[in-house]
Structure 1
Amino acid sequence: MKPVFLRWALFIFLLLTAVSCKEKKTAASPEAISALNLKRGALIVCGPTTQQLGSLTFTISGPASIQPAFNLGLKLLHSFEYDEAEKVFAGIIDEQPGCAMAYWGVAMSNFHPLWTPPTVTELTKGSKAIAIATSLPKQSAKEAAYIDAIGAFYKDWDKVDHRSRCISFEKGMEKLYTAFPDDHEAAALYALALNAAADPADKTFQKQQKAGAILQRLFPGEPNHPGIVHYLIHTYDSPELATLALPAARKYAAIAASSAHALHMPSHIFTRLGLWSEDIQSNLASVASAKCYAESIGKEHWDEELHGMDYLVYAYLQRGDNTQVRQQLDYLVAIKEVYPVNFKVAYAFAAIPSRVVLENKQWVAAAHVQAPVANIVWDNFPWQKAIIHFTRLMGALHTGDKAGANTELQALHRIQDTLIAQKDAYKANQVKIQIKTAEAWMNLKAGNKAEALSLMQQAAELEDKTEKHPVTPGEVIPAREFLGDLLLQMNEPGKALEAYEENLKKHPNRFNGLYGAGLAAEKSGNKVKANRYFQQLLAIADTTGSNRPELTTARTWMAKH
């Protein structure tokens, strides 16, 4: 009896297995695909008539007909052209609804790891895409690992914070990279994951150094790979590492000239190194491409245009070119609607007018600065809103409006409390730096020099311990530069010179940094350094017809000495 029982048990097991295999999905249902609400339509890129997005090859399972489209989607993904990448992956899904890696592409297109965290809509779409990809038959262990890695980011997205999920993605990509060390896509995306998970307060740049080592090994063999060159720039986007990215920065725009973001991205390194002419040319090209894209999708303005303008105004200010600065500011104020409204758009709207008045020390204008109206709900962007309050606060202080300064300081404290409640420690600390800076100048105006100096030093030290956000060209005004200004006001030119020089190491060729250093050197009797810094200032601010009074002072000094 026992052998017969075993034969029947084996027969039932095989029958159930066969039924199970027949029932296993080979494609997503039309309902599941419809629920994704995928972006669709013709591919839109601006730039050369021949599409230039770099080169790569990544073979996936499926018919040969979808391979070129997948490579195109991946190239767009590497240049952060997320909307267009999603369109391409959607096209693959329409043709081959059983292609698991196409759903992986959709999930990646809604992640944007180095920008602001995905919205609820994007998180919902990404998690649904991963659920479909997971339900489909895996054609290879490698593809399963790719899907698992991004799946780790979307897992429990409604319960787990963004940074923790970025670390989960990093661990998933590390596992993939370790299992398939010869896969260049895995290596490039692992480097991206390391950057996404890096702690802004880690001044050893542990994760960035690891990412850089991986990318530097790949770069000579694949010099036209958009991801490798792009992620090298992000990896080394810090004062201490920026020179390592200069070759990549000078190459990326030519590799992916059809991407507005690729045209802009080199300016991250040009800004870090104070290469203002290259910075300006990079962002003029990027802004033009972004305007073209906005027109193509039927919108007045696209977010990438505002992002490029932020860097462009920053560079014009360092050249002392207020004519171009005013043109950009007037254009910004006239903008009434941008698509989509997000972190970098709000930052540009707040930072550009604030930089203009603070860099020029136009204190009356600073006291009354307003964020452009546009289509922004400012309560959704407390950190950016703080920039406006800080600018008004500094304007009020320098124009003797104590009541106005106190009102703005209270607003900064409320925003800091909001960011702490949101568990956004990085942005809360940035506002803390603004608060300490403001309190330092309040104490100086009140005659409390020792307390003023202590608070300003605290602000500078706190800022030194953290990196700027990847979206921004830099702090609105560096805290250590403010420290130099404060020391000059206290008639301590020698110490002011030390502060300016320390600041210039992190922010080379800043207009006010060079001028402050030259002025402090002159006042402290150091003619050699005064000559050096004023000469440097005149070299970078060679704009014809600039009306900055600092340049008149520098020219007068050089004529006499």
Structure 2
Amino acid sequence: MIRLSLAAALLACTIPGATHAQTADASGERVGTEYMVFEAETNEPAKSHFLRGLALLHNFEYRRAAKAFREAQAADPEYVMAYWGEAMTHNHPLWEEQDRDAARAILARLAPTREARAVKARNALESAWLDALETLYSDQGTKEERDLAYLAKMRAMLADYPDDIDVRAFTGLAVLGSSHGGRQVPIYMAAAGILEPGFMTHERHPGILHYLIHSYDDPVHAPLGERMAERYATVAPDAGHAQHMVSHIFHALADWEASEAANIKADAVVDRQRIAAGRAPSDCGHYNEWLVYALLQQGKDASDRVAACRAVAESGEPAYGPVRSYSVMAAWQAVDTGKWPEPIDEEARAFLLPRLTLTHVEALRRREDPDAVAAALAEMRRDAAAVPDLLARMAPDDRSTMPWVERAIAQVEAVRLLAEGDAQGGLAALRAAAEAESALPTVFGPPAMPKPSWELLGEELLALGRRDEAAEAFRNSLRFAPGRRLSMQGLKAATGT
């Protein structure tokens, strides 16, 4: 099968049968610059920096992209698109993040008003790009309203420039960015419909490949994304996000070997860049989290990686990123292997969302002790009450976190009933919790809950000898988390096959 051979190929950055040589840009890195066909109306030094920035922007390598765009500005201070590119690095549509103030400050460096900036455009296409950007970062309307207005501008651009591959790529991304509050499959399929013609004409364009992988990033559509995963890692071997991104498809296909290989490569790319910048390698972070999950699903020992991240989380002054990573890794390892996390430093535990995760896991660990579960539930409720204020301050456009916090509390409420001996009430509450989880937008990657409620329900039913009901629960779990090892084991135990 292609995916089995691909796992090894990813580590070598080659694909069997690939005919395209990987070419480094002027920086010495391979991030997909060679596949940029944007007609930049500027001098050669500015063009070189701009095209590198554009490739990095398509790869979501935002900090490095911003640096390249600033270098383009230095080479041509009047080049509108260099400012457009840097401003675009502050819009992260798939993460529901946008820093409008930072983007508008960049535009102000080009000229103080929208009208003054508009006259600097050197052709009609630049004028259209700038107009769309001004709409995205307008001082009018909510983020969601501006996202939709920006999408309308991009659709109009695509109608005027149907053969421009970057217009097509960013229009597809704008469609994805209109799916507020989580993944809405019809919207994601609409994005795929815009991006697929671009794949037919530019099959190695990093933006087209990247955004199609996002479009197909769910268990039902992931087979369509294999074509993009086969190419993307080789298009941008020095972009850590590109190396990781292919694992979204492998994860949805439950190909844990290929997912492991992809995230090992992503982590290696990031570590190499950190070392070059005089920083220590990273033992935490998104790529390490997915690597730990892939290892656990293969029954491999992930203890060393979890411990390494914990050491970072507890070293010096704790930072949110490492503490969050450790809480996620430790939670997955705990429910999959029974290696429950020991208490962490109080300073590290001060972060609200990681604390909620660790308290949730503690409730599962002590699930036979009604007093312990009740105490954990009370702590989770107290912390959950503070989450909306935290999000309002730190991530005001986030609409995905709180629903899953509520789901975690609902699961522990069911566990409390079971611990108190109320089997009927506990199972009913657990089933309701599982159904409510299923009703939320599909989560790409590992489950949002350390222990999916369908899996927990299956285990409870199996312990009671209700094998048929348990099998149904495990099948439901696998529908949302394909290839999950404990659900597969539970289904086998329930069915005897």
TM-score, L = length of structure 1: 0.75
2:283 matches 1:315 = no
CA contact (8 A) 2:360 2:408 kept: yes
Structure 1 residue 503, shift from structure 2 partner: 1.8
1:76-475 equivalences under 5 Å are 76-115=56-95, 117-118=97-98, 122-131=99-108, 132=110, 134=114, 135-136=116-117, 137-156=120-139, 161-200=142-181, 205-301=185-281, 306-322=285-301, 325-336=302-313, 347-362=324-339, 365=340, 368-370=342-344, 378-379=351-352, 382=353, 384-398=354-368, 400=369, 402-421=370-389, 422=392, 424-469=398-443, 475=449
- 8 Å CA contact 1:194–1:208 kept in 2: the answer is yes
- Distance in 1 (alpha carbons) for counterparts of 2:172 and 2:87: 18
Instruction: Give 1:185 deviation, angstroms.
Output: 0.5
The structure that has the greater radius of gyration is: 1
Aligned-residue offset at 1:443: 1.0
Q: 1:451 to 1:336 in 2, by over 3 A?
A: closer
Between stretches 281-290 and 480-489, larger displacement belongs to 480-489
Say if 1:355 and 1:369 are closer, same or farther in 2 by CA, change over 3 A.
farther
Contact 1:115-1:471 at 8 Å conserved across structures:
no
SS of the aligned residue for 2:217 comes to coil
Shift of 1:344: 6.4
2:10 paired residue number: none
Residues 276 and 315 of structure 1 are in contact (CA less than 8 Å); yes or no, is this contact kept in structure 2? yes
Segments ≥4 residues shifted beyond 6 Å: 341-344, 371-374
Structure 1 spans left out of the alignment, 5+ residues = 1-44, 523-529, 531-561
| Contact 1:52 1:257 (C-alpha < 8 Å) held by counterparts | yes
Indicate the percent of aligned positions where both proteins have the same amino acid.
26
Structure 1 residue 241 displacement after superposition: 1.6
Deviations 1:414-457 (A, max 9, x none): 33333345475421110111111111121112222222122112
| Cα distance, 1:111 vs structure 2 | 1.8
Q: Which runs of 5+ in 2 are unaligned?
A: 1-23
For residues 388 and 326 of structure 1, the distance between their equivalents in structure 2, rounded to whole angstroms, comes to 17
Instruction: Determine if contact 1:77/1:85 at 8 Å carries over to the other structure.
Output: yes
Cα contact 1:173–1:190 (8 A) shared by 2: yes
Aligned partner of residue 95 in structure 2, secondary structure: coil
Once the two structures are TM-superposed, the CA of residue 318 in structure 1 deviates from its matched residue by: 0.5
- Of residues 494, 498, 501, the one that matches 2:472 is 498
Per-residue deviation, 1:270: 0.8
Where 1:59 maps in the other structure, the secondary structure is coil
User: What SS is found at the alignment partner of 1:265?
Assistant: helix
Task: Give distance in 2, aligned partners of 1:95 and 1:337.
Answer: 44
Distance 2:380 2:141 in 1: 28
Read off the aligned partner of 1:263 and give its amino acid letter: Q
**Match in the other structure for 2:20:** none
Distance 1:297 1:472, change over 3 A: farther
Answer yes or no: is the 8 Å Cα contact 2:468–2:494 preserved in 1: yes
Cα offsets for 1:256-312 (capped at 9, x unmatched): 111111111111111111001101110111111111111122222459x62111010
C-alpha spacing 1:330/1:240, structure 2 compared with 1 (3 Å): same
CA distance in 1, matches of 2:321, 2:223: 25
Q: Distance in 2 between matches of 1:498 and 1:389?
A: 29
Q: What RMSD over aligned residues (CA atoms) do the two structures have, in Å?
A: 2.8
> What is the rounded CA distance, in whole Å, between the counterparts of 2:169 and 2:319 in structure 1?
26
- Does the Cα contact within 8 Å between 2:404 and 2:449 map onto a contact in 1? no
**1:243 aligned counterpart, secondary structure:** helix
> What residue identity is the alignment partner of 2:167?
A
Whether contact under 8 Å (1:301, 1:337) holds in the other structure is no
